[in-house]
Copies of this chain bind each other. A is one copy, B any other.
């Protein structure tokens, strides 16, 4: 080796290679003895941000076991950055109360944690994001994850993670894919440690720092939480029929048609109706996207669509399909829904069918709070798909639990009205006034197009309860739009 000059033009300073002894064997491993060892390796301090994903949904055991371990260490003021929180995460309330957790961000918060936030237990406001907005915030560094904890259905000791195998298989891992790309440290927590290298790798070892084996990462039966079969009651079927006719009349239902629905019974009933229409007219769609259910898998197998783009499997039939059918592909949260990447999957969706807790006269949608202001959800992908799709349809009954669902003003603004095209109810449908051409198409097709004010009036008449006033306490949650701007605030209940 020649002597090196201190620097060279166009290169700068040269740092000479220093020969060093090389240690051979034993084989490298990232496997640590237990969760505590992994937490130690992450060097977490008070105020750290820890992230979790929700692919195990209401069957997830990982968030609770990690938070319990962090609490035992006496860590304080942690920020739980979860893709979503479910009723199973109720133990988080106690971690909030005792100061272990002071900040929460998530795209969706349901169950006891949402209720507790509404009563003011969290000292700092929770931040509600869209799925795409969370990916944007992570890429932008608005959220810096100190440690991402990945519930790994299968992992090997170098950190390759697969979602589609093992006793707790959950299918695609779209949400942690985005987290691990930016997290300072990533811990894969698995109940199925397999010999290296793991099969069907969803998250590669290069993005995982530590691996821990535990007896059980969750309860697979909790993955399919909520119905994933089409609704069959007459009102749902009537709404689904109107929504399907709306899509047909919109002019979008041609070869290459792309489609997204939620996993609720009403949404799937619409999908079923659209599928019948496609079959009868010989239209072949391109893809279904979003969270994927066994019902979407059936549509794929029936040849109604060429592929599925899946950020999260909603049931075990979808998990099996992802494992076995190459047409069923995974996508990350960023690829699915992020507004900053110059073209996400949501930007290629023709029609999306969405739910609502409330819709108002400006077509604004609330999926964040229920009447009275208690936090029950959040956007998830709602605002992302509404913005991206060519046609966003909200299906809703006029009332639920005695409350009107078409209201003068939403209790919380989750998804802005300009991104909602049609609201379909059992009493007819309302078209966003900005979509005059669409309104004409639907009217010509014989659909019952009505002013949204009429639907609101009818809903108010049918309601057994008045629309409650907004809660007036301090701010307990901030509802962010996908670009990080703030659409609304959620305030503490029970302070009046």
Q: In the bound complex, what is the Cα–Cα distance between A399 and B218 (angstroms)?
A: 61
Q: Is A121 an interface residue (CB 8 A)?
A: no
**Copy count, this protein chain:** 2
> Hey, what's the 0/1 contact readout for A461-496 against B, CB within 8 Å counting as 1?
000000000100001001001011111110000000
Q: In the bound complex, what is the Cα–Cα distance between A30 and B20 (angstroms)?
A: 49
> Hey, what's the 0/1 contact readout for A19-36 against B, CB within 8 Å counting as 1?
111101101101000000
CB contacts under 8 Å to B, within A3-54, are 4-5, 8-11, 14-22, 24-25, 27-28, 30
Determine whether the beta carbon of A2 is less than 8 Å from that of B470.
yes
> Hey, what's the 0/1 contact readout for A233-249 against B, CB within 8 Å counting as 1?
00000000000000000
A209 and chain B: residue at smallest CB distance: B342
Q: Which interface residue of A1, A102, A200, A207 has the most chain B CB atoms within 10 A?
A: A1
Determine whether the beta carbon of A197 is less than 8 Å from that of B24.
no
Determine whether the beta carbon of A335 is less than 8 Å from that of B19.
no
Q: Is A408 an interface residue (CB 8 A)?
A: no
Determine whether the beta carbon of B127 is less than 8 Å from that of A343.
no
Q: Which interface residue of A197, A345, A417, A483 has the most chain B CB atoms within 10 A?
A: A197
CB distance from A215 to the nearest CB of B (A): 25
Q: How many residues of A contact B (CB 8 A)?
A: 88
Secondary structure call for the A interface: loop
CB distance from A432 to the nearest CB of B (A): 9
If A21-B418, A418-B20 touch, does A10 touch B124 (CB 8 Å cutoff)?
yes
Q: Is A293 an interface residue (CB 8 A)?
A: no
Chain-B contact segment, one of A82-90, A222-230, A326-334 = A326-334
State which of B9, B30, B391 has its C-beta within 8 Å of the C-beta of A342.
B30
Q: In the bound complex, what is the Cα–Cα distance between A254 and B488 (angstroms)?
A: 62
Q: In the bound complex, what is the Cα–Cα distance between A420 and B352 (angstroms)?
A: 59
Q: Is A270 an interface residue (CB 8 A)?
A: no
Q: In the bound complex, what is the Cα–Cα distance between A9 and B474 (angstroms)?
A: 11
Determine whether the beta carbon of B125 is less than 8 Å from that of A195.
no
> Hey, what's the 0/1 contact readout for A107-142 against B, CB within 8 Å counting as 1?
000000000000000011101000000000000000
State which of B16, B307, B347 has its C-beta within 8 Å of the C-beta of A485.
B16
Given known contacts A17-B483, A21-B418, what 8 new A-B pairs fall within 8 Å (CB)? A4-B489, A8-B125, A9-B125, A11-B125, A17-B413, A196-B256, A206-B334, A206-B338
Can you report 29 residue pairs joining A to B where beta carbons are below 8 Å apart? Answer: A1-B364, A2-B470, A8-B125, A8-B475, A9-B125, A14-B486, A17-B416, A17-B485, A22-B418, A22-B434, A24-B390, A24-B391, A25-B390, A27-B348, A28-B348, A30-B342, A158-B347, A159-B343, A181-B181, A195-B306, A197-B286, A197-B329, A201-B329, A205-B343, A206-B332, A206-B334, A206-B338, A206-B341, A206-B344
Interface residues of A (CB under 8 A from B): 1-2, 4-5, 8-11, 14-22, 24-25, 27-28, 30, 102-103, 123-125, 127, 158-159, 181, 195-197, 199-201, 204-207, 209, 256, 258, 286-287, 306-307, 309, 326-327, 329, 331-332, 334-335, 338, 341-345, 347-348, 350, 364, 387, 390-391, 413, 416-419, 421, 434-435, 470, 475, 478, 481, 483-489
